[in-house]
Amino acid sequence: MLTNSYFHVAADTEQAAADCATLMLDRIREAIAERGRAMIALSGGSTPAKLFPRLAEGEVDWTRVHVFFVDERMVPPTHEASNFRLAQSLFLALPPVPVANVHRVRGEDDPEDAAAAYEAEIAEAFGLDAEDEEIPAFDIVHLGMGDDAHIASLFPGEAAIDDLDGIAAALYVEKLDAWRVTLLPAVLQAARCTVLLIAGAGKAAPLEKVLVQPYNPKQYPAQLVRHNLEVHWFLDQPAKPSEEGMSHGRA
């Protein structure tokens, strides 16, 4: 089988984020060269705070880059928990990425309305034919992974993990007692390039399970992207899985 998973283990989170940014910038430049634009989807959380400033330093024609979000907390765009706010402050306002190229989830709106509007905005940006139920192929999907192996806002046990047709959905996350809007599995799996930035000792055990355990994304949602076209796992030393785990991941 073609090797599709690449493990990049760095000494620390800063270096892992720098390595992740370097690859993302390469893929962005390649997409622009090949297709005239780059369509990328970013996650939130804590590790992006180290990644985003590195992206902002990149030598890229940002007018040709469209930025979407893998998921969003249903809060206003100025709220400290907003994934948009994090990206805007550390990345998007700096190169700058044209406002029209930033496609945020309207976290201030009703979740279902926000999800429907976001799905429509994605369909328009990609020129999708709604009747054909086309799935958009992002050039890059950037993910983190929780210590419960969640990605995006797809947490263990989430019914939407079985939704292989939709583009985005509003989900009430019991564990957080909060609403989220998230991209759905088919979109995450359609990415040309998938990068996961995973850091900290707390991630080593769940990552090992993601790589070694039989495919069961309801239990280990990060397994959804294990066999994507091109998957890059950017890790710091504490998050490093076993050699067995990494060889499973490459299989």
Q: Which residues bind ligand 6PG (CB under 6 A)?
A: 43-47, 70-71, 83, 143-146, 150-152
| Distance in Å, CB of 50 to ligand 6PG, minimum | 9
28 or 154: whose CB is closer to ligand 6PG? 154
| Distance in Å, CB of 85 to ligand 6PG, minimum | 12
Q: At what angle do helices 204-212 and 243-250 cross, to 10 degrees?
A: 40
CB-based contacts of 129, cutoff 8 Å, min separation 6: none
Return d(Cα 78, Cα 201) in angstroms, integer: 31
13 or 101: whose CB is closer to ligand 6PG? 13
| Distance in Å, CB of 61 to ligand 6PG, minimum | 27
Q: What is the DSSP string of 66-122?
A: EEEESEEESS-TTSTT-HHHHHIIIIITTTTPPGGGB----TTS-HHHHHHHHHHHH
User: 149: closest CA among 87, 191, 196?
Assistant: 196
Return d(Cα 66, Cα 99) in angstroms, integer: 10
16 or 97: whose CB is closer to ligand 6PG? 16
| Distance in Å, CB of 93 to ligand 6PG, minimum | 19
Report the side by side order of strands in the sheet with 71-73: 71-73, 178-183, 168-173
44 or 249: whose CB is closer to ligand 6PG? 44
| Distance in Å, CB of 145 to ligand 6PG, minimum | 6
66 or 180: whose CB is closer to ligand 6PG? 180
